[in-house]
Structure 1
C-alpha cells in the first residue's frame, strides 16, 4: 500500500489540473463575449484583440494537449508497465485515466475553436472579391 501516496504525487496531473483551471475562465469569458456580440449586436473587437484571442486559444490548446498526453502516459506507465494499479486501490488509476481522457476531449474542442477563430479572423480581414461584370447583350 506504499505505492498509493507516491502515485498521487505525480506532477503531470497537477499540470493538467492547472491548465484546465486556466482554460475554464477563458472559455467562460469567451462565451460571455460572444453572447454579448450576438445578442446585443456589439461590434467585434479590433484586429489586435482578435489576434491576441486567437494566439491565447492556440497556446491553451497546446498546453491542454501536452498536459493530457503526459497524464495519460503516466497512467499507462502505472497500469501496464509497473502494474502498480494492481497493488493500489483501483480508484486512483481510474481517476487518472478519466482525467486524462477528459483533458484530451477538452483539447479536441479547444483545437476546433482555435481553427474556427483563425478562419473567422482571416475571412473578416480579407478583401471582398471584385464585382462580376454585368453580362448584357449589345443591341444596336
Structure 2
C-alpha cells in the first residue's frame, strides 16, 4: 500500500477552467457532416435545369415539386408518376394542404409540349399558380 503524499497539497487548488478542445472537435465534426449532407437534401430528382438571371424566392412553406426529365418522365417529389395520375393526386393534396405552392423542375432539354401538358394537368387539379425552377446563371 502506498503511503506517500498526494499530489494535491493544501496550497494548490484544482483548476477551475473548462477544457473546450473536445467541444471544438465535436463541433467541427458536426459542421463537416452538415456540409456533406446539405447538398443531398434537394427535392425531386436530378434534372439539368435551364439557367436564367432571376433571384431566389423566400418561402416558409415546403413546396410540392414536380420534376420532368429530358426523356419525359414525370416525378412528384421523388416518386415516378404518370400524367394521368397527376391531377387526382394534386387534388387530394390540395384537400390536405390548401394553397400549397407547386414548382415544376423541367430539364433544359425537355420538350415544351411535355411541360405544357403537366401545367394543363395542374390547372385541371385547381392549381392556379405554378413556379418554374431554374438555375442562376454562372
TM range (shorter): under 0.3
Query: Per chain length, whose mean CA-contact separation is higher, i.e. which structure has more relative contact order (CA < 8 Å, sep 6+)?
Result: 1
TM-score (norm 1): 0.25
Greater strand content: 2
Greater helix content: 1
TM-score (norm 2): 0.26
- State which structure, 1 or 2, has the greater radius of gyration over its C-alpha atoms: 2
